[in-house]
Structure 1
Amino acid sequence: MGRFSDFFSKELGRRQVWLFFLLATFVYVVPLILADYPYIDDNWRSLSAAAGSAWAEQGRLFTELFYNLLTFSNAAPNIFPLPLLIATLAMAAALTSLTFHYYPQPTIACCLVMLPLWYNPFFLQNLSYQYDGPTMALSVVAVIYAITFRSPSRIQQWLVPSFLVALAIGLYQVSFNVFLGLCCLEVLRGANDKLAWPKWCELIGWKIAQAFLGCLIYAVSAYPFTQHNRTLLLNWTAEPLLQLHVNIARVLEKVVLLFHGGFAWLFAGLLLCAVAGAVRLGLNVVARQDSTANKMLIGLICVLALPVVTLLVSGMALFFRDFNEGARTLMGFAVLLVLLFYLSHLALARIHERLPLLLMVPLLAMLSLSYAYGRVLTVQKAFAASALLSLEQDIASNRQLLEAKRIYMSVTYSDHWLRGAAGSFKQMPVLHYLLNIDFYMLAENLPKVGITNVVAEKERRNATRVGYQGYPPVLESQYYRIYLLGDYGFIVMKEPAPIKTLHW
């Protein structure tokens, strides 16, 4: 028993830390691998002629190159879960590097501080994409190595992290929020470790220079391939502050979904520990052997770093005209969690060396959320297969529909399609936000079963007009009606009724 307890407090070697992270990161993605569900964009990417192309025009040139290299082709046939396994291995190595960067003599508790970079609940949506998920993870890996890279050569110290930042942005632009957030943590860590004033200022200067040069390298490499409608910023002539306020409110509304039931109490406790850690950090700043002016400036920058990390939960996405509030854009939430864990570790380690092991509790909660989400994906996969089979049989059994020039599928959004996961959605509201599937069926799925004349309707008014003008449907099922006018068909979804809670 004594040897077992010593394991949690003894210093770990690099190999032991890597094995810990390898196990922890793999366990987190097991539910996604078992579900094996092609998530939204995966459908059209796997069926397109170029198989998974169009990343370059989204500003993610390096994602396209990654799949070209990995598949030894000019396209990207679906080879899931190999890319995710590669990304998991890379993340384990990156987290090992970051742990030794923060703690030269790490224990298991020190490793727990870094784990939220992977155990970010909102990152589950990123990892749901069989194509995009692994490269989004690799963009975080590049960011971590940009932080931990050290070289006696000043030129290398400037250039290598900058190229890594450019690589990260070229894999997924939102990862730049993670880099900026980790830079803020570097500033706080330097202040807590009583880094000499010139060194501390130099650290800030290096990070600013690396971020600027990284963006510059990205601008001349991957950005020229980007479609310009994806880069439009807020309209600065139409109350930009109000637009920012609305965007922040929308993000906050989504983040709050996580704090439900036991999660609210867990994070309240974590926040209290982090506040205690922030006080300790402040006392360390006061105890520095520096001038009062220097200490006040360090304290002010440390205080400002906290709201900056919070804003970086969504970060740069807030400033785009086409604002995306999806969970996959909230990669900065991982850095906010690491900040809370880091400050909590400061407070708990001060009391007892084993108390920081309490950080396992919120991590276990996030792990359980991953497995709950995996079950929801499995239910969604079964529902999608049933929907696809139903549509295929209805169209294939009617010769007129099968030979129609085109069948337009209306897109009806609802929160009530997936009845099989209603209980999970009620207990964990964040699961519905993570799933982000509020449609019955994507037209891109039908070619999988040989139906190639169905396309998504850009606007619903044509199908709606057919539905309400009294034309008799050719076919009708529980979820949709199919109409036929001449050589053109229309699939009109029925509005699903709200799911009623069953009482036994």
Structure 2
Amino acid sequence: MRMSDFLVRELGRRQVVLFFLCATMLYILPLILADFPYIDDNWRTLAAGNAWAGQGRLFADWLYEALTFTGAAPNIFPLPLLLATLAMSLALTRLTFHYFPEPTLSCCLVPLPLWYNPFLLQNLSYQYDGPIMALSLVAVIYAITFNGSTRAQRWLVPALLLALAIGLYQISLNVFLGLCAVELLRAIQWRTSWSQVGELLGAKFAQLLLGLLIYCVTAYPFMESGRGEMLNWNADPLLQIGISLGRVLEKVTLLLHGGYAWVFAGLVLCALVGGAQLSKQVIGQPVRQRKSAVPGLICLLIVLLLVLLVPGITLLFENFNEGARTLMGFGVLLLALFYLAYQALASGHRRLPLLLIIPLLATLSLSFAYGRVLSLQKTFASAALYSLSRDIGGHRELREAKRIYLSIGYSDHWLIGAAGSFKRLPVLPYLLNIDYYMLAENLPGAGISNVVAERERRNATHVGYLGYPPLVESQFYRIILLGDYAFIVIKEPPKIRSLHW
């Protein structure tokens, strides 16, 4: 068989699974090679701690207790990520056959943005939380694609899967709502009757309510008070939501630089053509069937909803989190663009949809660039830990101190080695999201047991402003000794300058 024939022929389920297994594993390969404990991973590794139940994520605790055969969460990375990636490849296979009953290679490219979401890289950076978030996505996909033989099954099973997804990571609710919007888009494309569209929306709404109810009686009661506080509706909530949307837009535009801007502009252009073709199909129906301009208005509302679901439910929280890990809805927006672009390209030639591999390759390239930045951060963190442990171990007063307090020292200029990558790819520092020199929980890894918890860092920061003479003066920090207590005060690093070699 010629290669050109293989690219356009129908694929079997085993072949589709193999394709997604290779594609998903390739995307996480840089993160596994970097092997960098990311932020919360440090204290979780130190304590073998879970503590997700207090965040309303009870099922995450159960998952690690089952995987480790303990009542806690020893670090077993990368096993959970490999298992979650395998589950994701099966879920994407199911979604592909849901969208395309007779899929070709180009059809497999359409749902892949759910995994090749650039902002999902921050989620997957967590050695503990990354697999949990991935499995939450898997549960959402199965909830969308499940089609039981009875009405009770069609309601109950997706609701259970949705409750599982929310109990693993609440932000996955954005993905469920986004995929429901894509289902509505597909229903309009296939000229589904309005009664069937109403039945579809009603079923999804019932699944959502039942899933939330199951979550509320299982995982939610374990959530600590004070978490998940909603917006103050007496303080102009629309203004707060507008400000939050502006911040999200600012972060998303970090992705659109250089060739990435042209690639995504081409994707949007193809999607617009596909959307126009869809509208033409709807308008081409008899007047008694198309109900005037209602279908076109619904398509426009679907696009606006998908854009709004990029931050999604986080807009409703009092403490808005603009971190990349909350933008899981961006993957659904990309999926919708890929779906519409596929329709436009397939109408021109059966091989043209293979062009969708270009934006996927761009995202894969970003994944490898991000993996290299994680490796540089790991090198910097190791050097910082060695420097601190040497200075503390070299002074008897510090070794014998009752407590050692460590300030944070927030800055965007710690990682000088990645200055070139940061300049060419401004989204990388947003994905990395590490603006500190050292975390207190890193020091026990070097045998320093008298350092205190991270939450007490304000003590060292306060002492740093009082001007005490330091016992140790280093490039990045000062160590001050007051009686039996030591304080590590982090200095402000100089701004990153252009490096010439």
2:408 is the counterpart of 1:411:
yes
Q: What letter matches 2:37 in structure 1?
A: P
2:15 is the counterpart of 1:13:
no
Q: Structure 1 stretch 411-420 or stretch 399-408: which is displaced more?
A: 399-408
Secondary structure, aligned partner of 1:150: coil
> Cα offset for 1:470?
3.6
The separation in 2 between residues aligned to 1:140 and 1:251, in whole angstroms, is 21
> Cα offset for 1:399?
1.2
Query: Aligned runs of 1:280-299 on 2, under 5 Å?
Result: 280-288=277-285, 291=288, 294=291, 296-299=293-296
Secondary structure, aligned partner of 2:76: coil
2:23 is the counterpart of 1:24:
yes
Q: Please tell me whether the aligned partners of residues 31 and 125 of structure 2 are also in contact (alpha carbons under 8 angstroms).
A: yes
The separation in 1 between residues aligned to 2:77 and 2:458, in whole angstroms, is 38
Distance 1:289 1:213, change over 3 A: farther
Q: Please tell me whether the aligned partners of residues 264 and 359 of structure 2 are also in contact (alpha carbons under 8 angstroms).
A: yes
Aligned to 2:373: 376
Distance 1:422 1:159, change over 3 A: same
Q: Structure 1 stretch 353-362 or stretch 234-243: which is displaced more?
A: 234-243
Aligned to 1:198: 195
Query: Aligned runs of 1:1-400 on 2, under 5 Å?
Result: 3-48=2-47, 51-288=48-285, 291=288, 294=291, 296-400=293-397
> Cα offset for 1:175?
0.3
Secondary structure, aligned partner of 1:454: coil
Superposed CA deviations along residues 387-413 of structure 1, whole A, max 9, x for unmatched, are 111111111111111111111111111
Secondary structure, aligned partner of 2:411: coil
Aligned to 2:417: 420
Aligned to 1:429: 426
Secondary structure, aligned partner of 1:344: helix
| RMSD (CA atoms) | 1.4
Q: Structure 1 stretch 237-246 or stretch 455-464: which is displaced more?
A: 455-464
Q: Please tell me whether the aligned partners of residues 477 and 489 of structure 2 are also in contact (alpha carbons under 8 angstroms).
A: yes
Aligned residue pairs, count: 501
Q: Please tell me whether the aligned partners of residues 411 and 456 of structure 1 are also in contact (alpha carbons under 8 angstroms).
A: no
> Cα offset for 1:466?
3.4
> Cα offset for 1:288?
3.5
Superposed CA deviations along residues 314-370 of structure 1, whole A, max 9, x for unmatched, are 100111011111100000000000011000001110111110100000000000000
Secondary structure, aligned partner of 1:228: coil
Q: Please tell me whether the aligned partners of residues 310 and 336 of structure 1 are also in contact (alpha carbons under 8 angstroms).
A: yes
The separation in 2 between residues aligned to 1:84 and 1:277, in whole angstroms, is 35
> Cα offset for 1:204?
1.1
Distance 1:264 1:14, change over 3 A: same
> Cα offset for 1:283?
1.3
Q: Structure 1 stretch 404-413 or stretch 140-149: which is displaced more?
A: 404-413
Aligned to 1:492: 489
| Gap regions ≥5 residues in structure 2 | none
The separation in 1 between residues aligned to 2:198 and 2:89, in whole angstroms, is 31
TM-score (normalizing by structure 2): 0.98
Q: Structure 1 stretch 69-78 or stretch 195-204: which is displaced more?
A: 195-204
TM-score (normalizing by structure 1): 0.97
Q: Please tell me whether the aligned partners of residues 68 and 74 of structure 1 are also in contact (alpha carbons under 8 angstroms).
A: yes
Superposed CA deviations along residues 237-279 of structure 1, whole A, max 9, x for unmatched, are 1111111111111111111110111101111111110100110
> Cα offset for 1:155?
0.4
Q: Structure 1 stretch 153-162 or stretch 188-197: which is displaced more?
A: 188-197
Q: What letter matches 1:219 in structure 2?
A: C
The separation in 1 between residues aligned to 2:271 and 2:321, in whole angstroms, is 30
Q: Please tell me whether the aligned partners of residues 230 and 322 of structure 1 are also in contact (alpha carbons under 8 angstroms).
A: no
> Cα offset for 1:52?
2.5
Q: What letter matches 1:245 in structure 2?
A: G
> Cα offset for 1:465?
4.8
Superposed CA deviations along residues 208-265 of structure 1, whole A, max 9, x for unmatched, are 1111111111111100000121120011111111111111111111111101111011
Distance 1:33 1:462, change over 3 A: closer
Superposed CA deviations along residues 407-449 of structure 1, whole A, max 9, x for unmatched, are 1111111011011111111110111100100000000111111
